[in-house]
Structure 1
Amino acid sequence: MIENRIQRILMITCLTVLIISNGKADRNKITEDIVKIIDDSLKCRNNPALAISVVKDGNVVFSRGFGSRVVGQQVNVSGSTLFGVASLTKAFVSTLIVKLLDENSKYTVDTPLRIVFDDESLFKDEILSKYATIRDLLCHRMGIPGNDAIRLDTNLTRENLVQRMKHLDGTGRFRDSFYYNNLMFGLLTRITEMLGGKTWEALVKEHIFDPLDMTSSNFATTADPEKLELAKGYVDHNGELKEVPWEFSRRWGKLCGAGCILSTADDMAKWMQFHLSGGKTRKGKRLLSKRALSMIHTPLIRIATSTTSKYYTRPLSPVTFSDDSYAMGWKTGYYRGYKILSHTGSTYGYRAKVTLYPDMNFGVFSAMTGDDPNFFYRFNVHSLISDMYLGEKPWLNASMMCSFPELFQSKPSSKPQINTKRKPARNVRDYLGFYTNIPYGFATVAKNETQLTLQYGFGRFELYAKTTKDEFYVQSVGMITGLTNFKSLKFIESSDGTVTAVEISAFESKDPPVFRKVLPSSHAPTNAVLPTRCFILQVFLTVVLSGVIFC
């Protein structure tokens, strides 16, 4: 009896050791395969740095970097290297504000914004002003176009953003149209500060970073890049990598909740584990109730069209990778029939993506520097890694990742060629002047030596004439190189042929803002990058009554 029992114990022990050994061998093989394919696929790309982390069944099974943090130098990337994660920040916004609301019964996600801000006319539309709630902001169903270029205005603050909302038109149906809008997450940033009594950055650190032990994570608004293990951001400008000035990242991230977080593969693994564990820290302490986390993950609005759907849907593609609904800071969908939560992040110099498989207790994070047109590389990396860890046969290899989507369908059309030598149909001086718009503020059209330029906030654009009279291509230069290219604007003339305004569709295509001219060319600065104090005083009395200046 005793001998038989000992034999059974020894047999079970041997089997356990064998299973563990095989599991480790399998994981090592997966790791080796991933590293080889990623290394090979990066050879055909212009992405200097990449970091990936993977979590499965509560464990971090992969976290490492590829490439170099600085172009031209071999500064290795690791799991502790910081990247801008851009709109992955939005899930932090939803988690933080829901946590604060959960702890403070005064408001809920369904509290009308007019009550939160104590203002009955928050928006141009009366229906929005009366009924819009925190929940509506969190899932992009306000029906207001993005107007992202407002973030270039040097006068923009989290406090005065709400005043600008009063002047933005809605072109979609409230609660029935998905209009992705970073400004709404700027409003959420401000609401969170009002609830928590501290800056949004301080609240994220206190309520999320510290409890989850995300010790390396930071913010573009407050970080000192010289003191960090940071991968420098780059944009691909006509095939040449250009470094994104840190000053741009700091200014562009001013609203913070729209996309200011910096994080690492190691820290984002902890963030994924928090969501996959139902709201607990790695030590098992509950940070957010299951009910609250479930609410964050529940889809609220359908996404009518997806940038990637036509490239990752059967039968045009071997698999379907969908993200056709939006929750609170998360997209919801399916990959190969597995339920997923995901989000991409794209800001100037950085690209990121996170994919969670709640039913499989599995998640993938990636971040890179450089560009990723149409999200192809991020989706392919996540597809490959997901297949390997979910036991599916991978449908991609390094060669296919380089040529995608050519094996399955044609590539997206290339961008137009701009004729930089074409002369405008009228005298350039007719365009020069000082223009204003509510809620954007001031813009200056000037001639810088031989080049017609537009200055708006800290953004400078060169204008190149199109074949149509008074229409121009807009190309961002200087600090914002790569921000807005191949888009357009057109000058508007009155019945007597005088230029009286400029409509800038490059700033917002769904509802292009119209800037009206308030001072003609004879008063406008011809070679100034920014208007001088004296020049601004000249137009102050002209525009102050119209409310263009926000305090």
Structure 2
Amino acid sequence: MLGVLLLLPLHLVVADEYDALFKKMMDCNPSTAAFAISAVKDGKLELNRAYGKANREKNIDVTNNTRFSIGSISKEFTGYMAGKQVLEGHYDWQEKITDIFAKKNVKMSMQGAFRNKTCTLEDAMTHRTGIKMHDWLLTDDRDISRSDWVTKFIPLFQEELEMRSSFYYNNWFYTLVGYIVELFGGKSFEKQVKESIFDPLEMKQSCFVSDDEFDALSEKDFAQPYQEGEDRSTLYPVPKEAMKFIGIHNPAGGIISTAGDMAKFMIGVIDALNGEDGAVLSKDVMESITEPKTLMGMQLGDSTLIEKPTFNATFKDSGYAYGHIIGTYRGYKYVNHGGSTYGHYSLITVIPSLKIGVFTVISGNNYKNTNMWRMQKPMQIYMLDKLMKQDVWLDAENACTFPKPWIGENTDTFEGAKRKVEEEIVDKPLSVEEAEYVTGNYSNPVYPTMKLKLEDSQLKFEMGNSNGTIIRTPGENENRLKIILNMPVDPLNLPEKEKMVAYLIYPTAPLTANKVENLEFEMGQERYQFTRNGSDTHHLSVFLVIGAFIIKLLSNNC
């Protein structure tokens, strides 16, 4: 029945109503290359539209058949597969991770005696393990299987917070859940999703980044991913191949789809939660995976909460369920998730009680991880109001100034999509004496060997398939060095000023002292211990700080 509904002429509100806002938003956000949206109500497709270019360089228009990465929205699919197996009796939400693996004679452990003895499937799926995120590893090109990643790497990941002390987003535990689904389903995670969700919902334009189908997609079929420059108007093309790094982590963020296919998914979710006759997805499963289990202190990916009385209505996340964010808009419970990968950013929101849902996805437009706030949330709020037949408070007149007039000036938001670029600081070369102080190879059981070496009087950084140049930035602490990184996910011909940066920080010490022995690799606010290979020198510390740019690409919503 679902397929017939979606093949009928679209049950549309007059499209021109929407064009005024959507085209205006594209105009005032010149770093958005492509935008697609679908909306559903009462089991029917209300809207399915696309704007912009699938490929700017080749002037290829985006269409309703253009595919995008949906990033962490993939976790909703993983949640469904785990819920299905729970209902089948294979394991339970409250069952310990180690016991679940033991049923299949797979040895599994985690850092910390308390976590190792008590961490449950629910802890893993609702982001309360407190384990470090290790998002840099998403660019790792070593030949590592999903089973090895889960059973050999995750046990080595150290804690950032005490378990169950706070909501702490972690992509890799969804890789773990995907592996559990494989163990108990007897097939690959990808095949089970296809058989249980894609095929029954007739999502014929959906696949995974590891599929041959994705490899075969042409420039007309797949929206070119873009990295937004800090001037808020320049876009740098990201190689399609960057998406392939997600492969073994498909359960966390590897689905490729269209707005139309995601409309079918939204109808499937809404039908199931309302117990509709002929619902494709299981009502029992959907109810079990959409009850919040972990309190969220703030919205993922947002710098400002949309709440009354400051704003006309409240759009607020409150808790995390199994692969789903739960919150309220205008007092109605929604089921929601965002997603981000290398140049694609998405958001899905359904309000089951009203039988409505909205999906949006864009390419580009994510400087400092602000796309949800600058573009997607306003467009979703507008569309939800239209579907709810509420007075619209975000429209073509104020969308580009949002959050004004509700709150004051915000340089990270829409108006003109411009940002004042700070006066460029001229970096200085590193002295040979200082460079020699930290040269050497350093190891960590999870990461590739980190190599710091002197070449032509220039200190170089290398780790796996990434490398960089180490320099000094005026104004920084004496023991703080900048690393300008070259990453495999970098856009082609990316200017140096737009590249990812890292910092090498070491305690003040005489440069005549022996070389440092221990390093800590820090990404965001997380640090990972490295030790000099074959070292027996003094115990000094070096801190490697990876800048926020990788976080910007992944979003907590990877």
- 196 and 460 in structure 1: CA distance in 2 versus 1, 3 angstrom threshold: farther
The alpha-carbon deviation at position 309 of structure 1 amounts to 6.4
- The answer as to 2:268 corresponding to 1:274 is yes
Could you tell me which residue of structure 1 aligns to residue 298 of structure 2?
Answer: 305
Q: For residue 28 of structure 1, what is the aligned residue in structure 2?
A: 13
CA positional deviation for 1:339: 1.5
Closer/same/farther in 2, CA of residues 203 and 400 from structure 1, 3 Å limit: same
Residue among 116, 128, 131 paired with 1:144: 131
List per-residue Cα deviations over 1:110-152 (Å, max 9, x = no partner).
2211122236761111111111122211111111121211223
Deviation at 1:167, TM superposition (A): 2.2
Name the residue aligned to 1:504: 521
CA offset at residue 370 of structure 1? 0.6
Judged with a 3 Å threshold, the aligned counterparts in structure 2 of structure 1 residues 431 and 70 are, in CA distance, closer, same or farther, namely same
Q: Which amino acid aligns with 1:301?
A: T
Secondary structure of the corresponding residue to residue 519 of structure 2: strand
- 1:14 is matched with none
Q: Is the CA contact 1:280–1:287 (under 8 Å) kept in the aligned structure 2?
A: no
- Give the equivalent residue in structure 1 for 2:528: 513
1:368 corresponds to which residue?
362
Code of the aligned partner of 1:36: A
Map residues 139-538 of structure 1 onto 2, 5 A cutoff.
139-155=126-142, 156-161=144-149, 162-222=151-211, 223-228=213-218, 229-239=221-231, 240-278=234-272, 284-288=278-282, 290-306=283-299, 307-308=301-302, 310-372=304-366, 373-374=369-370, 375-376=372-373, 377-407=375-405, 408-411=407-410, 419-424=425-430, 426-447=433-454, 452-466=459-473, 467-481=476-490, 485=500, 488-491=503-506, 496=513, 498-505=515-522, 507-509=523-525, 511-518=526-533
Give distance in 2, aligned partners of 1:369 and 1:451: 36
Letter in 1 for 2:288: M
- SS of the residue 1:169 aligns to: coil
Counterparts of residues 46-195 of structure 1 (less than 5 Å): 46-103=31-88, 105-118=89-102, 122-155=109-142, 156-161=144-149, 162-195=151-184
| Partner SS for 1:504 | strand
C-alpha root-mean-square deviation of aligned residues, in Å? 2.8
Give, in angstroms, the shift of residue 484 of structure 1.
Answer: 7.4
Residues 446 and 454, structure 1, Cα contact 8 Å, conserved in 2: yes
Q: C-alpha offsets along residues 85-107 of structure 1, whole Å, 9 cap, x if unaligned?
A: 0000000111112113323x232
Distance 1:484 1:301 in 2: 35
- Pairwise CA distance, 1:462: 4.1
Closer, same or farther: CA 464–275 of 1 in aligned 2, 3 Å:
farther
- Post-superposition offset of 1:275: 0.8
Q: Work out the CA distance in 1 between the residues paired with 2:364 and 2:534.
A: 40
Q: 1:448 to 1:412 in 2, by over 3 A?
A: farther
**SS of 2:61 mapped into structure 1:** coil
Offset of 1:502 from its aligned partner? 3.0
**How far apart are the structure 2 equivalents of 1:497 and 1:313?**
56
Partner deviation per Cα, 1:396-447 (whole Å, 9 max, x = no partner): 2335332333432332678977745223365323333211113324222245
Find the residue that maps to 2:527 and give its secondary structure.
coil
SS of equivalent to 2:54: coil
Deviation at 1:187, TM superposition (A): 0.9
TM-score, scaled relative to structure 1: 0.82
The residue type equivalent to 2:478 in the other structure is K
Distance 1:25 1:456 in 2: 51
Q: Distance in 1 between matches of 2:281 and 2:381?
A: 30
Q: TM-score, normalized by length of structure 2? A: 0.81
Q: Deviations over 1:286-333 (max 9, x none)?
A: 432x22211100000111233436341233333321012111111111
The 1-side partners of 2:443 and 2:472 are apart by 22
1:50-103 deviation digits (Å, cap 9, x = unpaired): 110000011001011111110133322222210000000000111112113323
1:343 alignment partner, SS class:
strand
Specify whether residues 422 and 517 from structure 1 end up closer, same or farther in structure 2 by C-alpha distance, changes over 3 A only: same
The percent identity for this pair of structures is 25
2:73 maps to amino acid: L
Q: Distance in 2 between matches of 1:285 and 1:310?
A: 37
Do the aligned partners of residues 59 and 205 (structure 1) sit closer, same or farther apart at CA in structure 2, a change above 3 Å counting? Answer: same
Runs of 5+ unmatched residues, structure 2: 1-8, 413-418, 492-497, 536-558
Kept in 2: contact 1:356–1:363 (CA 8 A): yes
The gaps in structure 1 that reach 5 residues or longer are 1-23, 521-551
Give the stretch that moved more between structures: 441-450 or 381-390.
441-450
State the Cα distance separating 1:280 from its structure 2 match.
9.1
CA distance in 2, matches of 1:411, 1:197: 51
- Kindly indicate whether the alpha-carbon contact (under 8 Å) linking 2:85 and 2:91 is maintained by their aligned counterparts in 1: no
Counting matched residue pairs gives 492
Query: How far does residue 461 in structure 1 lie from its aligned partner after superposition?
Result: 3.9
Cα distance in 2 for partners of 1:141, 1:278 equals: 28
In the alignment, which residue of structure 2 is the partner of 1:530? none
**Residues 253 and 449 (structure 1), Cα distance of their counterparts in 2 relative to 1, 3 Å cut:** farther
Q: Could you tell me how far apart the structure 1 residues matched to 2:385 and 2:462 are?
A: 48
CA distance in 1, matches of 2:451, 2:442: 6
Q: 1:434 to 1:493 in 2, by over 3 A?
A: farther
1-structure distance, mates of 2:254, 2:108: 29
Say if 1:451 and 1:295 are closer, same or farther in 2 by CA, change over 3 A.
farther
What does the per-residue CA deviation read over 1:153-209, in whole Å, with 9 as the maximum and x for residues that have no partner?
333431222222222222323223111001111111211111122222122111111
Q: Distance in 2 between matches of 1:464 and 1:385?
A: 48
Q: Which residue identity lines up with residue 205 of structure 1 in the other structure? A: K
Q: Which amino acid aligns with 1:32?
A: D
Q: Tell me how far apart the structure 2 counterparts of residues 213 and 183 of structure 1 sit (CA, whole Å).
A: 29
Rounded Cα–Cα distance in structure 2 between residues aligned with 1:166 and 1:113: 12
Structure number with larger C-alpha Rg = 1
